[in-house]
Chains A and B, each alone.
Chain A
């Protein structure tokens, strides 16, 4: 519970700093709205925020599930086939060298203004961390376990499914935890480049009309959603994928 307390304390500190800046500099409210105003906007525009948040949540969740599934399959494939490893690893690295932000306009061009360009953006941004942490964990399987399985007469496919994959699930979980934080970034980038719905779209819209309080409201809703998503994924991983220390 000390984590919660620290979180609340940190939030209060940030709000205090925020308010202090406004008091000391006297900055205009369309440049930096006071926290109370932002809180008020969140409450008054709750229907609008909820409508756009739902779209972003859908994009993030679908992207997360697809990216995790694709990362899972890719990592297993890369481990199973040395040829695939030799061919695909340079491509994977190259894909990381290209800034994902640069891909957003192309994705919008190809996939349109709807959900799919944002889902794809989220998927691309989480694919690498999921694949690479699961891949590393799969490659680190205890050699003696594999030896034992071979002596028992197991085929490579069965060794993969019954030994390597379960042994590497904690690694998959650490990839998922990263993905939970990255996926919203992907969706928001997608929405910035071209969308008619979603929190990212709402932020741009509010910013363009100098409704800074609404922009901050959307930003805060997004941050809270990301933290909740991370906490949920963390809990899910602890319950299903992680193993206690020392095992």
Chain B
């Protein structure tokens, strides 16, 4: 994706240059209001009312996971995992859905309603639902930012493990998250995108590894710099 976007003539971002590396994690980092989510919505085909001027190669069918778990409160956990198939009118694969729930460690909760789960568990259900969609490209819109620190770290590990091999775009405002998970890290500013060298070690990285801390500092410095 390269170009600029506006809503009703008000520019949201300009000179964006974003190329996703296949089968790896690209992190898009930026302050609030800089248009990160709009980039993601453009990829997802959800950017209603946004005029995009530039080139955007269609990523095909994608899977998406957001900050809110977006579980349907009237459906059981298992039915929430199978939501995509239900919405497309496809056959419901309960066996696979139960497998996915087992992968996120919630096999015993399949028949509960989302209300009965904790915030971290609900986000794991959302992850299982994303895995169920089984798309090559996965868009993550700050999926861990509403979780407490410990749950967040666990979710980051689990998500990285289960999304291995997929092309992931992670939108986040958290430099330490980008430093842990990004195999390519881009900072989005009102004047354009800047790439910051990511550590070369495999993800998820240890939060205290020297290269992670160094990258985190680089990101902080760049984010603080007035543009």
A99 at the interface (CB under 8 A from B): no
Report Cα–Cα, A159/B73, bound state, in Å.
15
Query: How many residues of chain A are within 8 Å of chain B by beta carbon?
Result: 22
List chain A residues, Cβ under 8 A from B83: 149, 152, 162
Q: Which residue of the partner chain B has the closest CB to A243?
A: B73
Instruction: Give the most central of B66, B87, B88, B133: most A CB within 10 Å.
Output: B87
Query: Is residue B114 contacting chain A, with contact meaning CB distance below 8 A?
Result: yes
How far does the alpha carbon of A144 sit from the alpha carbon of B143 in the complex, in Å? 13
In the complex the two chains form, what is the Cα distance from A150 to B113 in whole Å?
A: 23
Across the interface, name the chain B residue whose C-beta is closest to A159. B87
Q: Verify if B46 is at the interface (C-beta below 8 Å from A).
A: yes
Interface residues of A in 177-209 (CB under 8 A from B): none
A154 CA / B83 CA spacing, docked (Å): 10
Contact status of A152 and B115, CB under 8 A, knowing A144-B66, A166-B74: no
Contact: A148 with B73, CB < 8 Å? no
With both chains docked as a complex, state the minimum distance between the C-beta of B61 and any C-beta of chain A, in angstroms: 6
Instruction: Let me know if B64 and A151 touch, CB within 8 A.
Output: yes
Given contacts A144-B70, A162-B87, A247-B73, contact A151 B45 (CB under 8 A): yes
Q: Decide yes or no whether A90 CB sits under 8 A from chain B.
A: no
Interface string of B74-109 (1 = CB under 8 A from A): 100000000110111100000000000000000000
Interface of A is mostly: helix
Known contacts A243-B74, A247-B113; decide if A148 and B66 are in contact (CB<8 Å): yes
Bound Cα distance A163, B79 (Å) = 13
Decide if B72 is an interface residue (CB 8 Å cutoff).
yes
Query: For residue B87, which residues in chain A have a CB less than 8 angstroms away from its CB?
Result: 149, 152-154, 158-159, 162-163
A144 to B41, CA, bound (A): 11
Q: Contact check, A153 vs B74: say whether CB atoms are below 8 A apart.
A: no
**Which residue in chain A gives the minimum CB-CB distance to B88?**
A153
Q: Is the CB of B88 within 8 A of A151?
A: no
Binding site for A on B (CB under 8 A): 41, 44-46, 61-64, 66, 68, 70, 72-74, 83-84, 86-89, 113-115, 133
Contact sample, A vs B, 15 pairs, CB 8 Å cutoff: A142-B70, A144-B70, A147-B44, A147-B64, A148-B66, A150-B46, A151-B44, A151-B46, A151-B64, A152-B83, A153-B87, A153-B88, A158-B88, A166-B74, A169-B74
